[in-house]
Amino acid sequence: MVSSGTCMCRLLGMIGAAPLPAKDVMEAFYPLCTKGIVEKGMKPGHLDGWGASGFKDGRAVYFARSTEPADETRDEYKEAVERVGKAASPIVLAHFRKTAGTPPVISNTHPFHWRDWIFMHAGTIFGAEASLPLNETTPYGATDSERLFLWIWEQVHSTADPTFALTALLKKAREQLVYDSLNFMMSDGHTLWVAHEVGDKRLAKGETLAERQTYFSLSVATVGKAVVICSEPLPSVSKTWATLAPRTLAILTADKPVPQLIQI
Q: Residue 6: what pLDDT?
A: 56
Spell out the alpha helix ranges (H) of 128-204: 128-131, 144-156, 162-176
Is residue 101 pLDDT above 80, yes or no? no
Q: Residue 5: what pLDDT?
A: 44
In this prediction the pTM is 0.95
10 Å CB burial of residue 206 (0-12, 13-18, 19+) is exposed
Residues 145 and 125: their CA atoms lie apart, in Å, by 8
Are 220 and 227 in contact by the 8 Å Cβ rule? The answer is yes
Residues 132 and 102: their CA atoms lie apart, in Å, by 17
Residues 174 and 155: their CA atoms lie apart, in Å, by 16
pLDDT tens for residues 69-92?
A: 999 999 999 999 999 989 999 999
How large is the average pLDDT for residues 34-47?
89
pLDDT tens for residues 223-241?
A: 999 999 999 999 999 999 9
> What homologous superfamily does CATH list for 10-263?
Aminohydrolase, N-terminal nucleophile (Ntn) domain (3.60.20.10)
Is residue 93 pLDDT above 90, yes or no? yes
pLDDT tens for residues 129-168?
A: 999 999 999 999 999 999 999 999 999 999 999 999 999 9
Residues 104 and 66: their CA atoms lie apart, in Å, by 9
Q: Residue 7: what pLDDT?
A: 65
How does the average pLDDT of the chain come out, rounded?
A: 93
Domain boundaries, the chain: 10-263
